Amino acid sequence: MKIFTPDYYKEFLCIAGACPDSCCKEWAVDVDPEAATYYRGLPGPLGDRLRSVLEDTQGGTVMVIENGRCPMWQTDGLCRIHAELGHEALCQTCRDFPRIKHDYGSFAELGLELSCPEAARLILAGSHQQSFTIADGEGDGDYDKDVMDILLRSRKMILSFLDTSSLPDPEAFAVVLLYAHGVQGQIDGGDEIAFEPMQCLADARRFSDAGNLDGLTTFFAGLEILTPDWANMLSGPKQACIYNKKLLHYFICRYWLQAVADYDLISRVKFSLAACILIGSLPGDFMRNAQLFSKEIENDPDNVEAILDGCYSIPALTDSNLLGLLLR
């Protein structure tokens, strides 16, 4: 099986005590059954502490948050399990984070979660060039091969366009949405389309309206919120949007192929564009805003689902509004 890896993935190293946010804050970590059994069987003070903070829920076992942090977090910013028992003793969630893997059976793609500050730094500054290694265990891939073929070709095309286009960023972003509509038509059984950026842009201008940013922020403010920072940012003043092609590149890499699961490319592209517009419109440090967006939205499956569903019913997520925000 081929495993594709972006350059920035290999550069990742957890900065632990120097981390400005930390994955040990705010989240109740899911503990896999094997680790939960191991932790509960440990002798001594660490075992006693773990037994007191592990909680079984309907979805599995979690490490209960105390004072807004994982109870294993120490004031030096390091993890007590890691410090006393080593990396191998961490549960799967903590061993993996922020590394992600999309396994399509016949090939896999690795990436990093934008919700980790150090990963965000690499994603927004590093090279997205992909290389691959060969690993054992190739399967057939339990997906529609024709659709995957369309998605792979179209993603390559649009990423290359983003990397090389001389259009201003918001216009290039609008082209992405119009092109995605053409690809969606192909997925739905239509003919293959030629990629004509200037035609896409002309269509985008025709479909755009005035663009309502308040509607977009109000929609996000109605989703599940983890941190007061995020709530304050959504309700506070906004700025002229900063567009960042590497951010859109990240979203396209992460979500475009996932349309093979339900044949819905458009919602994922709208999700990606809405994310870029929202993040770019929040005042303050762009990287921090992108990281917080990911922590609040990408790491909450309910929020992701609400946005994907909302692409068909929420006025803020219509083509005309997103295009209006990009092209106004």
**By the criterion CB under 6 A, which residues form the site for ligand SF4?**
14-16, 19, 21-23, 97-98, 116-118
CB-nearer residue toward ligand SF4: 19 or 213: 19
Q: Torsions phi, psi of 176, nearest 5?
A: -55, -45
| CB 287, min distance to ligand SF4, A | 13
What whole-number distance in Å separates Cα of residue 299 and Cα of residue 107? 24
CB-nearer residue toward ligand SF4: 5 or 93: 93
Two tokens at 80?
């007590």
| CB 61, min distance to ligand SF4, A | 20
| CB 118, min distance to ligand SF4, A | 4
CB-nearer residue toward ligand SF4: 115 or 267: 115
For residue 86, what is the DSSP state? -
How many contiguous H segments (helices) and E segments (strands) does the chain have? Answer: 16, 7
| CB 266, min distance to ligand SF4, A | 32
| CB 33, min distance to ligand SF4, A | 23
Name the pairing type of β-strands 107-112 and 2-6.
parallel
| CB 148, min distance to ligand SF4, A | 31
C-alpha atoms less than 13 angstroms from C-alpha of 280 in its C-beta half-sphere: 22
CB-nearer residue toward ligand SF4: 73 or 219: 73
CB-nearer residue toward ligand SF4: 62 or 241: 62
| CB 141, min distance to ligand SF4, A | 30
CA-closest candidate to residue 166, choices 193, 198, 123 = 198
Long-range contacts at 95-100 (CB < 8 A, ≥ 24 apart) = 97/23, 98/12, 98/23, 99/9, 99/12, 100/254
What whole-number distance in Å separates Cα of residue 303 and Cα of residue 295? 11
Q: Please, is 29 exposed, middle or buried when counting C-beta atoms within 10 Å of its C-beta (0-12, 13-18, 19+)? A: buried
CB-nearer residue toward ligand SF4: 15 or 85: 15
CB-nearer residue toward ligand SF4: 31 or 159: 31
